[in-house]
């Protein structure tokens, strides 16, 4: 019987994207070779701000149809100082997320071995969270407008759109995820004291469905108070569900508290699996260090582990995580943002070596 092949579309994008995606693909190929149970077939797409500047579009017209032919997407980053950010985002990354309806954005944060976060005495025992971010509507729905530009009566509006189907599916996804974790604890984050329509709606849907998950303990927080709880009582948090914008902000804080934005991974999931899901490090394009060979590839490796997990290759995903943790734990080859001096190449080689040596 021929081996199963996971088809991955690699989209490096802008800035340090190409450096970390090359490293990420190398590591994924090594894992496939080491585990032997599956193959990886990948294709690389040059969809980026450079392409937009050269050709006028971020991807070809049939780009999204092309992506549908893949099992998963590994994305680097989008953002270039020569192009306004909202043009890049809506032309590339948000376009992919929204068109493929990757509505569940999953953002794990954990203090990996050997990494010291800014919170004194806090280890992976206290800081092991997953933030579930609604990824298709809310404050990012793209609904709004700008009229009378340049006049004193100019108006700019972004309307946060919440639909029952959109709210219910992300909350149910979060309940299922919370249920699969040892602590089975889900925190709903909203701002229903001030945002009295959409956020009260979120609270109401949560109340309506939580009875379907009697094994999951729940609590509720306002988003401002949640930032305090993350800093002062990290051990009281496990799985969190929040809107697109609220979770965007909380996940940056979570990444900083777990050591660095450079290691944080994310998955834009299409749980129904009728379209590919997209995995990416959350650090962004980091133009200041582009091309220097010092970008931290660990966020991309961790994203690769999420990709494998989503593709049903749990053993390979676990092996990759062990390799990452071995490298952070040993501390010999840490990138600069984690207090080390290692280059992208050295960190990648260390992880490749750890993959070969892993005997489990
Ligand atoms: C993220 C980023 C993006 C977002 C930006 C670049 C639009 O901050 O992935 O968290 O807000 O979604
Ligand atoms: Mg963000």
Tokens describing residue 286: 């980091």
Choosing among 3.30.413.10, 3.40.50.720, 3.40.718.10, 3.30.43.10, the CATH entry for 118-142+158-257 is 3.40.718.10
How distant, in Å, are the alpha carbons of 194, 196, 211, 293, 302 from that of 205?
A: 18, 14, 11, 47, 32
Residue that the structure tokens 């203090």 belong to: 111
- According to DSSP, the β-strands at 185-190 and 217-222 are parallel
Could you tell me the distance, in angstroms and rounded to a whole number, from the CA of residue 250 to the centre of ligand 2?
A: 8
Q: Residues 16-59: pLDDT tens digits?
A: 999 999 999 999 999 999 977 899 999 999 999 999 999 999 99
Rounded Cα distance, 14 and 50, in Å: 8
Q: Is 35 or 146 the better-scoring residue by pLDDT?
A: 146
Q: Residues 64-85: pLDDT tens digits?
A: 999 999 999 999 999 999 999 9
Distance of CA 190 to the CA centre of its chain: 20
For residue 269, pLDDT over 90 is answered with: yes
Could you tell me the distance, in angstroms and rounded to a whole number, from the CA of residue 245 to the centre of ligand 2?
A: 8
Average pLDDT value for residue range 330-344: 95
Quote the pLDDT of residue 209. 98
Quote the pLDDT of residue 359. 86
Quote the pLDDT of residue 1. 58
Contact (Cβ atoms closer than 8 angstroms) between residue 289 and residue 283: no
Q: Where are the domains of the chain?
A: 1-104+262-360, 118-142+158-257
Q: Residues 225-239: pLDDT tens digits?
A: 999 999 999 999 999
Pocket test residue of 89, 136, 299 for ligand 1, highest count of atoms within 8 A of CB: 89
Rounded Cα distance, 174 and 242, in Å: 10
Domain 1-104+262-360 has CATH 3.40.50.12780: no
Q: Residues 190-203: pLDDT tens digits?
A: 999 999 999 999 99
- % of the chain exceeding 90 in pLDDT: 94
Residue 3 binned pLDDT confidence (cut-offs 50, 70, 90): confident
**Candidate ranges 65-74, 254-263, 281-290; pick with highest mean pLDDT:** 65-74
- % of the chain exceeding 70 in pLDDT: 100
Closest CA to 50 of 106, 99, 88: 88
Q: Whose CA is nearest to atom 8 of ligand 1?
A: 248
- What pTM did the predictor assign? 0.95
Site residues for ligand 1, CB cut-off 6 Å: 89, 248, 282
Q: Residues 96-136: pLDDT tens digits?
A: 999 999 999 999 999 999 999 999 999 889 999 999 999 99
Could you tell me the distance, in angstroms and rounded to a whole number, from the CA of residue 94 to the centre of ligand 1?
A: 9
Contact (Cβ atoms closer than 8 angstroms) between residue 45 and residue 60: no
Average pLDDT over the chain reads 96
Q: Residues 350-360: pLDDT tens digits?
A: 999 999 999 88
106 φ/ψ angles, rounded to the nearest 5 degrees:
-110, 125
Tokens describing residue 343: 């280059």
Quote the pLDDT of residue 33. 93
For residue 2, pLDDT over 80 is answered with: no
Residue that the structure tokens 């960190």 belong to: 347
Quote the pLDDT of residue 97. 95
Q: Whose CA is nearest to atom 3 of ligand 1?
A: 248
């Amino acid at each position: 019987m021929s081996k199963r092949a996971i088809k991955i579309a690699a989209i490096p994008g802008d800035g340090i994207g190409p450096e970390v995606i090359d490293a990420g693909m190398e590591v994924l190929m090594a894992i496939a070779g080491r585990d032997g149970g599956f193959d990886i077939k990948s294709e690389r797409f040059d969809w980026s701000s450079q392409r937009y500047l050269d050709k006028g579009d971020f991807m070809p017209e049939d780009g999204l149809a092309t992506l549908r032919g893949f099992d998963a997407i590994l994305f680097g980053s989008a953002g270039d100082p020569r192009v306004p950010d909202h043009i890049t985002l809506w032309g590339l990354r948000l376009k992919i997320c929204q068109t493929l309806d990757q509505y569940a954005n999953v953002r794990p944060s954990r203090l990996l071995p050997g990494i010291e976060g800014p919170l004194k005495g806090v280890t992976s025992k206290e800081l092991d969270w997953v933030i579930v971010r609604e990824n298709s509507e809310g404050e990012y729905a793209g609904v709004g407008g700008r009229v009378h530009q340049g006049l004193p009566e100019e108006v700019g509006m972004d309307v946060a759109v919440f639909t029952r189907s959109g709210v219910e599916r992300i909350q149910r996804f979060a309940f299922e995820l919370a249920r699969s974790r040892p602590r089975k604890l889900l925190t709903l984050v909203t701002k229903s004291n001030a945002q009295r329509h959409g956020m009260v709606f979120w609270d109401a849907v949560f109340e309506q469905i939580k009875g379907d998950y009697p094994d999951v303990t729940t609590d509720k927080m306002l988003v401002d108070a949640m930032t305090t709880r993350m800093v002062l009582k990290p051990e009281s948090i496990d799985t969190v569900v929040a809107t697109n914008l609220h979770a965007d902000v909380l996940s940056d804080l979570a990444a900083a508290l777990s050591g660095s934005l450079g290691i944080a991974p994310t998955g834009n999931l299409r749980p129904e699996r009728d379209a590919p899901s997209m995995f990416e490090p959350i650090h962004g394009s980091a133009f200041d260090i582009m091309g220097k060979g010092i970008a931290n590839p660990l966020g991309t490796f961790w994203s690769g582990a999420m990709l494998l997990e989503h593709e049903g290759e749990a053993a390979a995903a676990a092996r990759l995580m062990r390799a990452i943790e071995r490298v952070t734990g040993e501390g010999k080859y840490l990138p600069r943002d984690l207090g080390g001096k290692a280059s992208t190449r050295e960190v990648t080689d260390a992880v490749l070596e750890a993959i070969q040596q892993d005997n489990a």
